[in-house]
Amino acid sequence: MPRVAAVAVVLGICWICWEGAVVYVQFQSRHWDQPARVYAAPMELYPGRKLTAGALTDELEALGYRKASGGKVDGPAWWRQGSTLRIHTRSFRFWDGDQPSITVQVDFDSSGIRQLREGDGRDLPVLRLDPLEIGSIFPAHGEDRLVLSPEEIPAGLVEALIAIEDRQFYSHHGIDLTSILRAAWVNLRAGRIVQGGSTLTQQLVKNYFLDSRRTFGRKVREAVMAIWLDGLYEKDDILTAYVNEVYLGQDGRRAIHGFGLGSRFYFGRPLAELESDELALLVALVRGPSYYNPWRHPERAKDRRDRVLRLLADKGFISSTQLEAGVAHPLDVKPAGFRAGYHPAFLDLVRRQLASDYREDDLTSTGLRVFTTLDSAVQRSAEHALSEGIKRLSGQSEERSDMQGAAVVTQVQTGEVLAVVGGRRTGFDGFNRALEASRPIGSLVKPAVYLAAIEQGERNFASMIEDAPLEVSLDNGTSWAPGNFSGEYHGQVTLVRALAESLNLATVRLGMEVGVEQVRSLLQRLGATSEIRAYPSLLLGAVNMTPFEVAGIYATLASGGFRAPMRAVREVVGPAGAPLGRYPIEVEQAVDSGDTHQLNRALIQVMRRGTGRSSANRLPRNLVTAGKTGTSDEFRDSWFAGYGGDNLAVVWLGNDDNSPIGLSGGRGALPVWADIMAKIGGAGFVSPATPGVVDAWVDYGTGELAAEECGDAVLLGLPEQARLPAKTCGQQRRSLTETVMDWLRHLGN
């Protein structure tokens, strides 16, 4: 028996030593997965920028700036007096260096920012605000955190943690026998577990080394490891690890760990900027993030927070004035499910574009910082316009009750992606229709058909084409007989009219003359990445593409034939601030700029007198835009792609099960597109003059040269060598009734 006891003692000592080795090795090399933090493009302020004071304060509130009444403030804040806005900025480390916190004055007039001055009155040429964090790329196990250094942990948080969770933290040796016995007595009297006796060190051991099973063996192991941890490391090291490790809540599949991330999750601001009552709520959540969830159980959470505040006052950590103010203050957490700047569809694009240069482990564990092209104001506008548009349209018909949508917004000249919306639930991290919903594009393909014809040099947009029934022989021995949307035929029409009114028969006839293979090849040059088969049905859009792919094609048209791969990432910076990767703009000429100029002149007519005409009711007056509607067979998909001088947007609407929605491109996607463009503003589209191409007024119906004052004249880009017969106003003109009736018949296509 003594020998058995001796063996047991030896084994026990060996086990204790082994646990000590585990603690030393794992904690010595402690490494938290630090997900890459992803930031939007910073808002830049400068004199002359067209920006309202309201739009700027919206951005500041999204960034977590406080609204102040004026005077001296301790942290990021803003206050307004009439047409003047004063801002105390937040310091931030950008890819090109640190930007300190300063106080600035922004003066507005009716056109935007009139003057920008520093606090001492000196003119400031430009101010870059700290960027909005739009998300993180966290690992598969779902833990997300912002790791804080000891210097970044507020003293008030340390005081609250020790006062509430472990009063003897600096005097015990990992476990507190007095607390254990007291908790056991309280629990015994209550007949259930109402109080825990674990120290902060034990809580850290449980979270860092062990699982969540409640067994006697695990509790013994927890105590042994806590003693080892306390003996091997300084108290401040243990406390820092605890602050970064503690679990504070759940956001879908993302687990919120550490006070750094908890502060942003619940309050939308850095931990260092929280008030005492806000810190108290975070400390209150340690005991049970689910039980004290401030959204589900606000009264319970407030009671616990107030208890923390009273204990802090009893210990002398806060004054009685702070106690009264804190208890009187509401919880003031962000709305449930709200994540300032969280845009999962755009984040999905960022992750895909980074995947070619970084391993998954690099993105999920090394603390990279990724600076993107996202314009948070444009993103918010696109999300609102799409969700409101779908809500309005889906309520009009049972077949649209579950209708979905997607939108992509880019900057015309650079190809930078400003916004991505993946569905009607804009904050839902799920199927990203902007990148993954590959659907027939319908008449969105038609500009490529007409551009292919222009490239061959035998036709221009004043040329005539017959819009009449035709049959196309197929390779399998059958034939294809397409029809017009209206079921009518229009005889000889100009190319500009055929494109503007989206006449199927004229387009197919033109495409067959040009060659389907030439159209397919042109689509690839414009930026198509999908597999495209050169079937005749391609000429009417029988090819599947995603909204993102469509945006790339139309971006090439909008930029005058220059293709720039759409990019969502600008810079990647390491955790220490060293630049790791830059993503410069890459541009190549895909199509002759003169040919593109001719097409863009015709696409402007789509908006003025063709299938895009109804957008004028929603867009700013006299704003020049170019674009095209698209509708797939049986009204399953509604598309619109168009652009102004600064921005391009693509909108798709449809059901996920591919059932009809009963909406053409003009009735569905177009009004949503127009709402997006109206909200984000920007200049009108201007197609620059191109050598070899001249702008001329041409009769819309006959293709003859005309004077501007002629009622049916449109401004087209024509090759210099083009020879058109002139005519006088009033000859061979279509009546106003004919024009209006044709527009109504073809509005939907």
Taking each helix axis from N to C end, the angle separating 276-286 and 155-165, rounded to the nearest 10 degrees, works out to: 40
Asked which of 204-218, 382-396, 550-564, 623-637 is least confident by mean pLDDT, the reply is: 204-218
Q: Is residue 226 situated within a structural domain?
A: yes
Give the three-class secondary structure for 372: strand
pLDDT at position 732, please? 46
Residue 55 belongs to a domain with what CATH number? 3.30.2060.10
- How far is Cα 77 from Cα 152, in angstroms, rounded to an integer? 20
Q: Is residue 273 situated within a structural domain?
A: yes
Within this chain, do residues 92 and 187 fall inside the same structural domain, yes or no?
Answer: no
**Residue 421 pLDDT grade (very low, low, confident, very high; cuts 50, 70, 90):** very high
Asked which of 118-127, 144-153, 458-467, 543-552 is least confident by mean pLDDT, the reply is: 144-153
Give the three-class secondary structure for 203: helix
Q: Is residue 535 situated within a structural domain?
A: yes
pLDDT at position 97, please? 86
Average pLDDT over residues 139-155: 82
Average pLDDT over residues 70-74: 65
Average pLDDT over residues 137-150: 79
- Would you give the distance in Å from CA 158 to the centre of its chain? 36
Within this chain, do residues 166 and 103 fall inside the same structural domain, yes or no?
Answer: no
pLDDT at position 131, please? 94
**DSSP-assigned letter for residue 718:** E
- How far is Cα 688 from Cα 700, in angstroms, rounded to an integer? 22
Asked which of 293-307, 497-511, 709-723 is least confident by mean pLDDT, the reply is: 709-723
Phi/psi for 144 (5° steps) reads: -125, 140
Within this chain, do residues 245 and 300 fall inside the same structural domain, yes or no?
Answer: yes
pLDDT at position 195, please? 52
Q: Is residue 692 situated within a structural domain?
A: yes
**Residue 200 pLDDT grade (very low, low, confident, very high; cuts 50, 70, 90):** confident
**Residues tagged active-site:** 165, 443
pLDDT at position 635, please? 95
**Residue 746 pLDDT grade (very low, low, confident, very high; cuts 50, 70, 90):** very low
Q: Is residue 31 situated within a structural domain?
A: no
- Return contacts of 180-187, CB within 8 angstroms, 24+ apart: none
**Residue 21 pLDDT grade (very low, low, confident, very high; cuts 50, 70, 90):** low
Phi/psi for 336 (5° steps) reads: -55, 130
- How far is Cα 490 from Cα 498, in angstroms, rounded to an integer? 9
**Structural domain containing residue 427:** 392-620+629-746
Domain boundary among 328, 358, 378: 328
- How far is Cα 341 from Cα 408, in angstroms, rounded to an integer? 17
Torsion from C-alpha of 530, 533, 534, 537, nearest 10 degrees: -100
pLDDT at position 568, please? 95
Residues 467-523: pLDDT tens digits? Answer: 999 998 888 889 999 988 888 999 999 999 999 999 999 999 999 999 999 999 999
Within this chain, do residues 230 and 201 fall inside the same structural domain, yes or no?
Answer: yes
Q: Which segments of 318-401 does DSSP mark as H helices, in order?
A: 320-328, 344-354, 360-365, 376-394
Q: Is residue 420 situated within a structural domain?
A: yes
Within this chain, do residues 146 and 107 fall inside the same structural domain, yes or no?
Answer: no
pLDDT at position 735, please? 42
* Residue 742 confidence (pLDDT) above 70: no
Residues 302-314: pLDDT tens digits? Answer: 999 999 999 999 9
Amino acid found at 595 = D
Within this chain, do residues 706 and 677 fall inside the same structural domain, yes or no?
Answer: yes
Residue 519 belongs to a domain with what CATH number? 3.40.710.10
Within this chain, do residues 551 and 597 fall inside the same structural domain, yes or no?
Answer: yes
- How far is Cα 556 from Cα 412, in angstroms, rounded to an integer? 8
Residue 284 belongs to a domain with what CATH number? 1.10.3810.10
**Residue 203 pLDDT grade (very low, low, confident, very high; cuts 50, 70, 90):** confident
Within this chain, do residues 104 and 187 fall inside the same structural domain, yes or no?
Answer: no
Beta strands (DSSP E) in 385-484 are: 404-411, 417-421, 439-440, 464-467, 472-473, 479-480
Higher pLDDT, 371 or 218: 371
Higher pLDDT, 551 or 245: 551
Domain boundary among 328, 347, 367: 328
- How far is Cα 553 from Cα 273, in angstroms, rounded to an integer? 45
Within this chain, do residues 502 and 649 fall inside the same structural domain, yes or no?
Answer: yes
Percent of the chain with pLDDT over 70: 89
Q: pTM score, two decimals?
A: 0.85
- How far is Cα 631 from Cα 329, in angstroms, rounded to an integer? 54
Task: Indicate the pairing of strand 92-94 with strand 97-99.
Answer: antiparallel
**Residue 213 pLDDT grade (very low, low, confident, very high; cuts 50, 70, 90):** low
Name the average pLDDT for the chain.
87
Q: Cβ atoms within 10 A of the Cβ of 72, count?
A: 8
pLDDT at position 743, please? 42
Within this chain, do residues 142 and 79 fall inside the same structural domain, yes or no?
Answer: no
pLDDT at position 30, please? 63
Domain boundary among 97, 125, 153: 125
* Residue 734 confidence (pLDDT) above 60: no
Q: Is residue 6 situated within a structural domain?
A: no
Q: Cβ atoms within 10 A of the Cβ of 436, count?
A: 14
Within this chain, do residues 433 and 464 fall inside the same structural domain, yes or no?
Answer: yes
Q: Which of 91-100, 420-429, 533-542, 703-712 has the largest mean confidence?
A: 533-542
pLDDT at position 500, please? 97
Average pLDDT over residues 347-357: 91
Give the three-class secondary structure for 693: strand
Q: How many domains is the chain built from?
A: 3
Residues recorded for the chain: 749
pLDDT at position 4, please? 73
Within this chain, do residues 142 and 110 fall inside the same structural domain, yes or no?
Answer: no
Q: Is residue 377 situated within a structural domain?
A: no
